[in-house]
Amino acid sequence: MENHTAEGPDAAREIVTAALGRDPGPMAAARSDSHHVYVSTHVVVKIIDAERHTRLDREIALAPHLPTGLTAPLLTSGLYRLGVRDVRYACYARMSGTTPGMGLPDVDGVTARVLAEDAVRHLGELHSWIPADDAQRTLREPLDHGGFVSRAALAADIDTLARTDRSGFVAGHLLDGLAVIADRAPMYARAVVPVHAECHWGNWLACDGKVTALLDFEWARFGEPLDDWFFLARYGGPHMEVVLDVIAHATAIPVDFLRAECEVREAAHLVSDLRIALERAHTPSPMAIGRLRGLEELIVERYWWCQAS
């Protein structure tokens, strides 16, 4: 967790008590890459320095409008003076269940299929949702999401990565492989339905083998369903083929078309993350090293095709 503020469980409890007018009881820290998140028996609170990124504002703006039953209800939100700094917070009702986790660890094949069917159904509700004007404006606000936008944009991002990488951190054969993926990418991605845009398995809750909620709508925007199918399949771990099969059956999209579209989206995310990481640091960060490994899986090991029949 990034330590941008000095708050801890006691401070989180103070904020929730002031915001809700009742003591939530002891609060425990939960893992988050960009916030401080604390949970009690009935409440979850996200906290971030007010001057940090505005994605929490996006989630707060969307929360009242999202389809009923899709995510945790927003109880309240606002600014709070914590010591010498202002923090932004959002309090949510705590939903039943726990996250299945990135890669669906400790999940058997039967359960993975049921979870994937539930997740596809929930995402279908999101994709068919017609937002009110306020929510539409939020979803259309510019957002550097790092996903696939167009063939030309992906090719340009690959060129920028190559120019930025003066040390040769990204090997030539990986850049060549990315160029091949870009050459056969669609001309552009549509922006036609609401998408979550980060619906990996760490952002779902499940209980007794059934999905109970989809969390973290900070990256939500207009896109196309494939932007979400990518995250669902890519982070299915050993159950990736099961997830792809579920998506294909639910959407009537051929599996090989799904593979190709997911491959393009993974390439876009990896290139964007690597470019940003190399622009910000003289030496490769742990994130950059992880993304480089992802590129090797994508290009050399042909992740999306190695198990194709």
Model pLDDT for residues 98-132, shown as the tens digit of each residue: 999 999 999 999 999 999 999 999 999 999 999 99
d(CA 216, CA 146): 17
Burial of residue 208 (number of CB atoms within 10 Å: 0-12, 13-18, 19+): exposed
pLDDT at 29 exceeding the cut of 50: yes
pLDDT of residue 5: 44
The segment(s) of the chain belonging to CATH 3.30.200.20 are 9-93
Percent of the chain with pLDDT over 90: 89
Mean pLDDT over 80-90 rounds to 92
Mean pLDDT over 199-217 rounds to 96
pLDDT digits (tens, 9 = 90+) for 213-242: 999 999 999 999 999 999 999 999 999 999
d(CA 193, CA 210): 25
Sign of the alpha-carbon torsion through 105, 110, 111, 115: positive
Burial of residue 270 (number of CB atoms within 10 Å: 0-12, 13-18, 19+): buried
pLDDT of residue 309: 60
The segment(s) of the chain belonging to CATH 3.90.1200.10 are 109-299
Residue 203 CB neighbour total at 10 angstroms: 21
Alpha helices (H) along 48-98: 55-62
Architecture, CATH, for domain 9-93: 2-Layer Sandwich (3.30)
Architecture, CATH, for domain 109-299: Alpha-Beta Complex (3.90)
User: What confidence tier does 84 reach under pLDDT thresholds 50, 70, 90?
Assistant: confident
Number of Cα atoms under 13 Å in the Cβ half of residue 71: 25
Q: pTM for the complete prediction?
A: 0.94
Mean pLDDT over 172-195 rounds to 97
d(CA 123, CA 126): 5
pLDDT of residue 94: 97
List 77's β-bridge partners, or say none. 90
**Residue 30: φ, ψ to 5°:** -120, 155
Mean pLDDT over 261-281 rounds to 96
pLDDT of residue 4: 41
- DSSP code for 219: T
